[in-house]
Amino acid sequence: MTELRRDLGPTDAVVVGLGAMIGAGVFAVFAPAAGVAGTGLLIGLALAAVVAYCNASSSARLAAVYPASGGTYVYGQERLGPFWGYLAGWAFVVGKSASCAAMALTVGSYLWPDHKHVVAVAAVVALTALNYVGVQKAAWLSRVIVAVVLLVLAMVVVVGLTADTAQYSQLEIGRDATFGGVLQAAGLLFFAFAGYARIATLGEEVRDPARTIPRAVLLALAITLVTYVAVAVAALVVLGPARLAVAPDPLAELVRAAGVPILSPVVRAGATLAALGSLLALILGVSRTTLAMARDRHLPPALAAIHPRYEVPHRAELAVGLLVALVAATTDLRGAIGFSSFGVLVYYAIANASAWTLEPRRHVVPGLGLVGCLVLAFALPLSSILAGLAVLAAGVAIYALTARRRVRS
């Protein structure tokens, strides 16, 4: 069997996107972003949202034309040529594998900080097993997690915006915003948005994909943006950028500073659930892109197998789970986030370039998205840029080798 079953409806598709976007990023990314942007944090958030909207719009248009598993891997091949599709798929698989590791390490940091790597690996194994037995079960669990996390974030916003802010007037305002700092913050904040591609990569598993995917992508992004703006404003009101920048657990610190420390464990539990929900959706999406690349022999063809009973790409899921578990056992959380952001921005740059070719009169959004992705990618820390370029170069070398083998065969 080589075809996936179309089990997911519009609500499921939106929930999968929300599960990927409203994840650990909202609980962690505002601190490093405030550290580089200072008082320009909200400007950075706005820039990240603009780029995310352009990417979402381009992805939705492409998914309606090409409703197949693989996302920009498929779009790049169809619109730009095989190499660009491959490069998008490579950037997605390696970048989002790093995202998976970051989410798993966030679970470990909140649940058992002294043994975060052990917890991270256990989380990867458990969620890979859940995805293995069927996408519908994964979507159902994502719906529960998203509902709980949204309730926790709503509680945080209410506490922050109704707190007596007079007691915070003596706090240091924080570093002034700089252009470079705002751009770097936008690149970091983009990490917390980049989940809507999960919907596009499920093109073979949603009902009526031409209608469902575009609507689900934009609705999931809109809900996420409103949520992030509310949380960012509450954090700045209570903590200010300086205190926010140094908080190891920003939203838990927010409720403590607002005089409601009893809610701190609830926030920590919400952060753990959010990271688990994001990890669940990420493993789902990466395995589908791996499936598409294996079908085209850019990755080992054995990874294209579909389980006869569960009707999922079980070998691709196991391979992704193993890779993520290894990375989570050995890597650093901040390094994983920076590397992931670079890879995902390259992926969306190719998505926007692909959308540019669809209709001659609709160039503004994909053009803005393409430029925005490249600017944010190269505004990231130098270590992230160099690591990202090195891995992309390795991917190009692998493409050249596999191309020769395909020609010989």
In this predicted model, what pLDDT tens digit does every residue of 1-10 receive, in sequence order? Answer: 455 566 677 7
Whole-number pLDDT of residue 197 = 63
d(CA 344, CA 340): 6
- Give me the percent of the chain exceeding a pLDDT of 90: 40
Q: Is the pLDDT of residue 170 over 70?
A: no
List helix spans (H) across 112-134.
116-132
Cβ(206)–Cβ(13) below 8 Å: yes
Residue with the larger pLDDT of the pair 392 and 242: 392
Tokens of 196: 């809507």
Q: Is the pLDDT of residue 230 over 90?
A: yes
Note the pTM of the prediction, 2 decimals.
Answer: 0.84
Q: How many residues does the chain have?
A: 409
In this predicted model, what pLDDT tens digit does every residue of 347-393 receive, in sequence order? Answer: 999 999 999 999 767 789 999 999 999 999 999 989 899 999 999 99
Q: What is the mean pLDDT of the chain?
A: 84
Residue with the larger pLDDT of the pair 194 and 170: 194
Average pLDDT on 23-38 reads: 85
Cβ neighbour number for residue 169 with a 10 Å cutoff: 7
Tokens of 259: 């005089």
Average pLDDT on 59-81 reads: 84
Question: Read out DSSP for 292-337?
Answer: HHHHTTSS-GGGG---TTT-S-HHHHHHHHHHHHHHHHH--HHHHH
List helix spans (H) across 261-303.
264-295
d(CA 86, CA 62): 16
| Closest among 8, 91, 86, 25 to 292, alpha carbons compared | 86
d(CA 319, CA 131): 13
Contacts of 194 (CB under 8 A, 6+ apart): 20, 21, 52, 55, 99, 341, 344, 348
Cβ(217)–Cβ(60) below 8 Å: yes
Residue with the larger pLDDT of the pair 251 and 174: 251
- What distance lies between CA 98 and its chain's CA centroid? 10
Q: Is the pLDDT of residue 211 over 80?
A: no
Q: Is the pLDDT of residue 118 over 90?
A: yes
Whole-number pLDDT of residue 324 = 94
| Closest among 113, 137, 116, 117 to 127, alpha carbons compared | 137
Whole-number pLDDT of residue 183 = 94
Dmax over Cα atoms in the chain, in whole Å?
A: 73
- Give me the percent of the chain exceeding a pLDDT of 70: 88
Whole-number pLDDT of residue 396 = 94
Q: Is the pLDDT of residue 31 over 80?
A: yes
Q: Is the pLDDT of residue 134 over 90?
A: no
Q: Is the pLDDT of residue 138 over 70?
A: no
List the chain domain ranges: 10-408
The CATH architecture that domain 10-408 belongs to is: Up-down Bundle (1.20)
Q: How confident is the model at residue 202 (pLDDT cuts 50, 70, 90)?
A: low
Question: In one letter, which amino acid is 309?
Answer: R
In a 3-state reduction of DSSP, which class is residue 206?
strand
